[in-house]
């Protein structure tokens, strides 16, 4: 039996994590869930949005599944997502973005894997108030972080039969910071000549992604650009509701839905659990449960292909419970 830290999150988080637990049970995988609260609920109960016992749980289990957590804009505690990534050195945010059958999307041939550096850049959170009229934010780019995200992207490409890695940057303007990132990406590319390598300035890359995304295979980029590009690519295939997310470090891995907590529909039993389900598929692969992962992936695709028992965001009128029940029925 596997032991996994479970962070339900808030908003729709508890609903979709319960759905995913049901689906995993239906696939025959035994998991002991070590469940913990973070965010506002934890702050009220324990005096911290990320209590120490949650950190200790992830350290012990090394694997976590996390639902969405609300992050207040412009105020409140630091993003739980950012804090977890920095605490556990989850340097690679991996987003597989692929066209799925039956989903109303702009393109039919998208199959991109994004490797986003996950620990530094502007997300290092270094901000200084200079005076009442000026705030400075510090962009941090290091050689170590740039090299290891590039290595992760090229290793993935090599192991999964991918043909090309594209580095996305803004080195024409940020010549030193993004220049350092490119310098390390080029060094890693020289060590993996069996994989094609190219580079694109981020604004040009965004234009090309919305014109012909089939040109892209594996993308490697810095934290801020990766955050934006990941959501852009999700929009190409039908939205964040069907895209998994992986935060991977040397020792620890956290799997999560990449969408928000959607407090406006929390408790209404209409939340779409597929993004977290697909994240759980990646988690099962990580745990060595390959057959179960394959069965759930196939069930998700068949569910979408048949077009019934879908939640409103996917064009249906079913509840979360109804979708989950049908998904379980389709698991073979």
DSSP assignments along 80-119, one per residue:
HHHHHHHHTT--EEEEEEE--TT---S-S--EEEEEEE-S
Q: Which residue has the tokens 């599944």?
A: 65
What gap in Å lies between CA 245 and CA 268, rounded to an integer?
A: 24
| Contact indicator for 143, 180 with CB cutoff of 8 Å | yes
Residue 20 CA: distances (Å) to CA of 6, 8, 75, 169, 245:
11, 11, 31, 36, 14
Catalytic status, residue 46: no
280-302: buried (b, 16+ CB within 10 Å) or exposed (e) per residue? bbbbbbbbebeebbebbbebbeb
* Catalytic site residue from 78, 108, 203, 215: 203
Residue 30, burial from CB neighbour count under 10 angstroms (0-12, 13-18, 19+): exposed
Catalytically annotated residue among 10, 121, 178, 227: 227
DSSP state of 213: G
Note if 111 is an active site residue.
no
Cβ atoms within 10 A of the Cβ of 198, count? 11
**Active site (annotated) includes residue 313:** no
Q: Is 25 a catalytic residue?
A: no
218 φ, ψ (degrees, to nearest 5):
-115, 130
Q: Please identify which of the residues 46, 217, 231, 294 carries the catalytic annotation.
A: 231
Share of the chain residues as helix, strand and coil, in percent rounded to the nearest 5: 45, 20, 35
Of 91, 123, 156, 225, the active-site residue reads 123
Among residues 125, 101, 304, which one has the least CA distance to residue 223? 125
Selecting among 10, 66, 156, 170, the annotated active-site residue is 170
| Residues whose CB is less than 8 angstroms from the CB of residue 246 and which lie 6 or more positions away in sequence, other chains included | 92, 93, 94, 95, 253, 254, 255, 256, 279, 282
Q: Is 203 a catalytic residue?
A: yes
What positions carry a catalytic annotation? 123, 170, 203, 227, 231
């Amino acid at each position: 039996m596997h032991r996994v830290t479970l962070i339900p999150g808030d908003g729709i988080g508890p609903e979709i994590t319960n759905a995913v637990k049901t689906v995993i049970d239906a696939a025959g995988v035994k998991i002991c869930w070590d469940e913990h609260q973070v965010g506002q609920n934890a702050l009220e109960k324990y005096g911290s949005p990320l209590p120490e016992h949650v950190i200790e749980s992830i350290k012990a289990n090394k694997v976590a599944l996390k639902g969405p957590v609300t992050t207040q804009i412009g105020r409140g505690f630091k993003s739980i997502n950012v804090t977890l990534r920095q605490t556990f050195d989850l340097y690679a945010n991996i987003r597989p973005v692929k066209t799925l059958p039956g989903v109303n999307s702009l393109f039919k041939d998208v199959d991109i894997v994004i490797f986003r550096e996950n620990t530094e850049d502007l997300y290092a959170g270094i901000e200084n108030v200079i005076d009442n009229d000026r705030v400075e934010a510090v962009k941090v780019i290091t050689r170590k972080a740039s090299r290891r995200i590039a290595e992760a992207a090229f290793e993935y490409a090599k192991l999964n039969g991918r043909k090309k890695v594209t580095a996305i940057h803004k080195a024409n303007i940020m010549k030193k910071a993004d220049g350092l990132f490119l310098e390390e990406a080029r060094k890693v590319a020289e060590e993996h000549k069996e994989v094609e390598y190219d580079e694109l300035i981020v604004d040009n890359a965004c234009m090309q992604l919305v014109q012909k995304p089939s040109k892209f295979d594996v993308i490697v980029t810095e934290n801020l650009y990766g955050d934006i590009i990941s959501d852009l690519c999700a929009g190409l295939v039908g939205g964040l509701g069907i895209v998994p997310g992986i935060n991977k470090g040397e020792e620890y891995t956290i799997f999560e839905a990449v969408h928000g907590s959607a407090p406006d529909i929390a408790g209404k039993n209409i939340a779409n659990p597929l993004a977290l389900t697909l994240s759980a598929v990646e988690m099962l692969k990580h745990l060595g449960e390959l057959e179960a992962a394959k069965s759930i992936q196939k069930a998700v695709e068949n569910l979408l292909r048949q077009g019934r028992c879908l939640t409103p965001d996917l064009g249906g009128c079913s509840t979360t419970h109804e979708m989950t029940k049908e998904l379980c029925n389709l698991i073979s």
